[in-house]
């Protein structure tokens, strides 16, 4: 339940998603997350730091820990499903217009 609570908070999954390819500084991460407010990003990063999903490097950039990479790997089936869902919705919209 703790993981569902953590990842159910708005932006936490997006932050994990954005850090999947490597470390990002605060501003770069903020831009990748649709310019969310600085205060919300700080709060979410604090939650993810406390949960040991994210670490801050000496240069102040943020990156996923091994636990964070595991969380991303766990998301992959959901990403595949969401692609199928988007295709089904597009197919339904196309059929309705015909």
pTM for the model stands at 0.83
Domains and CATH numbers, the chain: 2-91 (1.10.10.10)
Read off the pLDDT of each residue in 61-90 and give the average, rounded to a whole number: 94
**Among 36-45, 48-57, 89-98, which stretch is predicted with the lowest mean pLDDT?**
89-98
Residue 43 has pLDDT above 90, yes or no: yes
Q: Which two tokens stand for residue 7?
A: 């990842």
CA–CA gap between residue 37 and residue 84 (Å, rounded):
32
């Amino acid at each position: 339940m703790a993981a569902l609570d953590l990842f159910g908070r708005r932006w936490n999954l997006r932050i994990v998603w954005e850090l999947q390819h490597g470390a990002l500084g605060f501003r770069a991460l903020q831009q990748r997350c649709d310019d969310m407010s600085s205060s919300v990003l700080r709060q979410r990063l604090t939650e993810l730091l406390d949960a040991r999903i994210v670490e801050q490097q000496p240069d102040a950039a943020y990156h996923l820990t091994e636990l964070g990479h595991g969380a991303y790997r766990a998301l992959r089936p959901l990403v595949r499903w969401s692609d199928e869902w988007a295709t089904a919705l597009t197919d339904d919209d196309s059929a309705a217009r015909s």
